[in-house]
Amino acid sequence: MIRIATCLLMLCAGSAQADLSLHFFEGAPKDRFVLTNTGTCPLAEATLTLDIGAAAAGLLFDATPGGAGVDVYQPFEVIEGRGALLGLPELADGDTVLSLNLAGLAAGGVVSFSLDVDDTGTGRPETISGSEIAGAVVTLVMGETTLEMAFSDQASAVIPIAPCIG
């Protein structure tokens, strides 16, 4: 019995994964998100949706002047990995959901983007801490498979994906 458990652990530990991590970095005036394929196999075409409205702090995207956000606004801007996107998302001021259509993402591949995130629930709406983004939800849809993970109070979400095939 111990041999079977040990063999199973060795097989699981050795399987290649295609995990995705999404990290949030507060910055003034631009906040930044970094999506990384931390696994060892490529990710196929997929849609990644970020719902910051699910966070308790009442987060929203401040994309245009004079809109729902506070003070400085920043539109969506790709910093790295434009080739991994099938297009740019449409984002209106005050939106709480952002969707990225991914053409795929190589192992170790990165897509990073900046924009302004404000909150409506604290005394400092321009500054978002890790605990304020906690609870924001990241959803990954690949064909018939939907995976979902919430941001931690460390401003990150990791979506574990099934072992690589092939």
Identify the band that residue 121 occupies on the pLDDT scale cut at 50, 70 and 90: low
Q: Is residue 10 part of a domain?
A: no
Residue 55 belongs to domain with CATH number:
2.60.40.1170
| Sign of the torsion formed by the C-alpha atoms of 138, 88, 127 and 73 | negative
pLDDT band of 1, cuts 50, 70, 90: very low
The pLDDT value given to residue 127: 57
5 is a domain residue: no
For 63, the domain range is 16-159
Shortest CA distance to 118 belongs to which of 86, 142, 143, 96? 96
Secondary element (H or E) of residue 4: helix 2-14
Does residue 7 fall inside a structural domain? no
Task: Check residues 166 and 72 and name the one with the higher pLDDT.
Answer: 72
In a domain, 1, yes or no: no
Pick the most confident of 38-42, 84-88, 151-155. Answer: 84-88
CB under 8 Å to 83, separation ≥6 — which residues?
Answer: 103
Is residue 76 domain-resident? yes
**In the predicted model, what is the mean pLDDT of residues 117-135?**
69
Determine the pLDDT at residue 3.
42
Q: Which tens digit of pLDDT belongs to each residue from 5-22?
A: 333 333 344 455 668 999
**Number of compact structural domains in the chain:** 1
Q: Is the pLDDT of residue 103 over 70?
A: yes
Task: Give me the percent of the chain exceeding a pLDDT of 90.
Answer: 51
In a domain, 9, yes or no: no
φ, ψ for residue 70, nearest 5 deg:
-115, 135
Q: Residue 109 burial (CB < 10 Å; 0-12/13-18/19+)?
A: buried
Q: Which residue has the higher pLDDT, 110 or 125?
A: 110
Q: Give the amino acid at 81.
A: G
In a domain, 4, yes or no: no
